[in-house]
Amino acid sequence: MDRENARLLADANPFPETIDARLRQQLSFLIEVDRLKTVLRQSPLAAVDRRENDAEHSWHLALMVVVLAEHADEKIDVGHTIELVLVHDLVEIHTGDTPLYDTEMGADQAERETAAAEKLFGLLPDDQATRLRALWDEFEARQTPEARFAKAMDRLEPMLLNWMARGGTWRTPGVTADDVRARKAVIGDASASLWAAGRELIDEGERRGWARPGHGLSTA
C-alpha cells in the first residue's frame, strides 16, 4: 500500500485560497489523515463481524487511557498519553498495518515507518511537523512513562478483542500461547496489574484451546 507517488487527497479539491495559508496546510493534513480509516488491522471487532481499522483502534486506545490510567505504575500525564495514541499509527497511512505476528514484514518496519513519518508530518507547518514527529518518536522509543502506558494500551486492546472473539489472531498459524505472552509482555513495563490481567486472559485462552499450547502456563 505504498502511495509514494499518490497525490494528496486535498489536491483533488483544494481549499479556497481565501483561507489563510497556515490553516489551509493544517486542513489539508487533517483531510489526508482520513486515510487512517481505511487501514485495516487483523483484530476482529467485538460488536460486529468485521476487522478493525486504525482510526477506530486509535480512538479505542485513547478512551482506554481515560478509563485505565489509574493502573499505571508510574505517574502519567493523561492528556499527553492520549496525544501519543492519537498519532501513533498515522504512519500506517503509507506503510499499512504490520501484523504483530508477521516477522517478515516486521524486519524493515522501522525503516519504512520512519520514511512515512517524514512524509506525512511534513505536510504540516514546520513547528507542528516537529511536534507531531516528536510525539511519534516518543511513542516508538518507550522511554517515558506516558509512552510505556500508550504502548501497553496498544497491546492490550487487541487482546480484549481477541478474548471476545474466542481467539482471534491468537489462532494465527504457527503462533503459540508463549508467542502471545512474549509479544504482550511490554504491558508489564507500564502496569503490573494490567499485565497480570493480560496473562489471565492468555492462560485461560490457552486452557480453552483458543491459543495453541506453548511451553505454557508455568512461564506466564
Instruction: Using CB under 8 A, list all residues that contact a copy of itself.
Output: 9-10, 12-13, 15-16, 18-20, 23, 26-27, 29-31, 33-38, 45-48, 52-53, 55-56, 58-60, 62-64, 66-68, 71, 77-80, 82-83, 86-87, 124, 128, 132, 160-161, 163-164, 166, 193-194, 197, 200-201, 204
Cβ partners under 8 Å of residue 56, min gap 6: 37, 45
Count Cβ atoms below 10 Å from residue 18 Cβ, excluding itself: 6
Question: Is the CB of 53 or the CB of 95 nearer to a copy of itself?
Answer: 53
What span, in angstroms and rounded, lies between the C-alpha atoms of 185 and 212?
A: 18
Alpha helices in the chain (DSSP H): 21-32, 54-68, 78-87, 92-95, 103-106, 109-121, 126-141, 145-164, 177-184, 192-207
User: Smallest distance, Å, CB 206 to a copy of itself?
Assistant: 12
Q: From the CB of 216, what's the least distance to a copy of itself, in Å?
A: 17
In the complex, minimum distance from the CB of residue 127 to a copy of itself, in angstroms, rounded to a whole number: 10
Burial annotation 145-178 (CB, 10 A radius, 16+ → b, else e): bbbbbbbbbbbbbbbbbbbebebbbbebeebbbb
Q: With respect to a copy of itself, which residue has the nearer C-beta, 35 or 151?
A: 35
Please identify, using beta-carbon distances, which residue of 59 and 130 lies nearer to a copy of itself.
Answer: 59
Identity of the residue, 100 or 129, whose beta carbon is nearer to a copy of itself in the bound complex: 129
Q: Which is nearer to a copy of itself, 45 or 185 (CB)?
A: 45
Instruction: Rank residues 28 and 172 by Cβ distance to a copy of itself and give the closer one.
Output: 28
Give the three cell numbers for residue 149. Answer: 502506558
Cβ atoms of 76 and 149 closer than 8 Å? yes
What is the nearest approach in angstroms of a copy of itself to the Cβ of residue 199? 10
Smallest separation, CB 13 to a copy of itself (Å): 6
Q: What CA–CA distance (Å, rounded) separates 114 from 109?
A: 9
CB of 160 vs a copy of itself, minimal distance in Å: 6
Cα gap 141→5, rounded to integer Å: 29
